[in-house]
Amino acid sequence: MSIETRTTEGQVSDRALHFLKALVERYIREGQPVGSRTLAKDTGLDLSPATVRNVMADLEDLGLVVSPHTSAGRVPTVAGYRLFVDTLLTVRPPSEDDIASLRTRFDSRSDAKSLVETASTLLSGITHLAGVVMLPRHERNVFRQIELLPLSGTRVLAILVTSEGEVHNRIIATERRFTASQLEQTSNYLNEIFTGQDIKDVRKRLVEDLKSTHRNMDQLMMRAVMLAHEVIESAERKDDCFIAGQTNLMEFGELASMERLRQLFEAFNEKREILHILDRCIAADGVQIFIGEESGYSLLDDCSVVTQTYRVDDEVVGVLGVIGPTRMDYQRVIPIVDVTARLLAAALRQ
């Protein structure tokens, strides 16, 4: 995922790119602003301090690095990381021995949920970041049937059956009394529209319908949408993806404030926005990298997300990846995500 920057590779000199690469690599390793003297040593170039400062100033003018208020050193911006990842990064694939070692962690006799959980644990354990894996699409929760029954007063019993064979009961307090006939008609209407659809898609459709003006709906539609939304809200599963290693993020100073961690852990627990990011990658080809605000989710503005799809029978059925600080070790993380996706796919096929 690329974002607009004030520069492209062609507008940055080879010397500036060399310095940017060294700065990003040093910052990824240490997490501290990088000064001109340190950078001159890292690049191995015989340049005067004034020349180094000028190159750093050029990078800052281009929006690729920034100087924090508390330090004379510089740190990469999202645009700097993006240029580094797109043009300066050399990714080394894992060795055959490493791949063989990873493969032994996947037990092909396990069910899909166990394999997905293994993959998320494996990703977090190897990268020391948060590993996230979406359940295969064919393992997702699907709307099978809903039945609405009248109770005393204005209460309605909603019974939702999903593809997992799970039954969700919800007593709904309505604003008026409904007859058994009206509720049966409403149930038939909902079953005709939603049977076979993913619960997540059903909920999205209902939310959109609730936002639309009531003038566009007849009474049956209004009644159906309002009642269905109540029960779907409580039934929507939160295990459409597995997340492991959230506590790894506490090791990174830039994410370690209590308020920042509280917000991140709430996002991991809720999962909805995380799933939305993964859903956007379903149709993408290859490894996808969202840096900072590129994810479109403000709680991840200080994080990067690296994802890869996985396939069964040549069909993309899910996405996996890692979430960590923007200064994650992309050179190491990207091939691990890619290989794990291939190993998970192979285990699911067996």
- pLDDT single digits (tens) 244-265: 999 999 999 888 888 888 889 8
Distance from C-alpha of 149 to C-alpha of 179, rounded to nearest angstrom: 9
pLDDT per residue of the chain (350 residues) written in tens, 0 to 9:
433 333 445 578 888 999 999 999 999 999 999 988 888 888 877 778 788 889 999 999 999 999 987 667 899 999 999 999 999 998 888 878 778 878 888 877 778 888 999 999 999 999 999 999 998 876 567 888 999 999 988 888 989 888 766 788 888 888 888 889 989 988 998 899 889 888 778 877 877 776 665 555 567 677 777 778 777 766 655 557 899 999 999 999 888 888 888 889 888 887 878 988 998 898 888 899 999 999 999 889 999 999 999 998 888 889 999 999 999 999 999 999 999 999 999 998 88
Does 3.10.20.310 match the CATH number of domain 96-136+240-349? no
Backbone angle region of 105, left / alpha / beta, with phi > 0 → left and psi within -120 to 50 → alpha: alpha
**What is 14-88's CATH topology?**
Arc Repressor Mutant, subunit A (1.10.10)
Give the pLDDT confidence of 331-350 residue by residue, as tens digits. Answer: 999 999 999 999 999 998 88
Structure tokens at 57: 């100033």
**226 closest CA partner among 151, 175, 152:** 175
DSSP element (H, E) containing 145: strand 143-150
Please report the DSSP string for 187-228 in residue order: HHHHHHHHTTSBHHHHHHHHHHHHHS-GGGS-HHHHHHHHHH
Domain ranges of the chain: 14-88, 96-136+240-349, 142-236
CA angle centred on 40, ends 37 and 45, rounded to 5°? 155
Q: What is the pTM of this model?
A: 0.73
Any idea which architecture 142-236 has in CATH?
A: 2-Layer Sandwich (3.30)
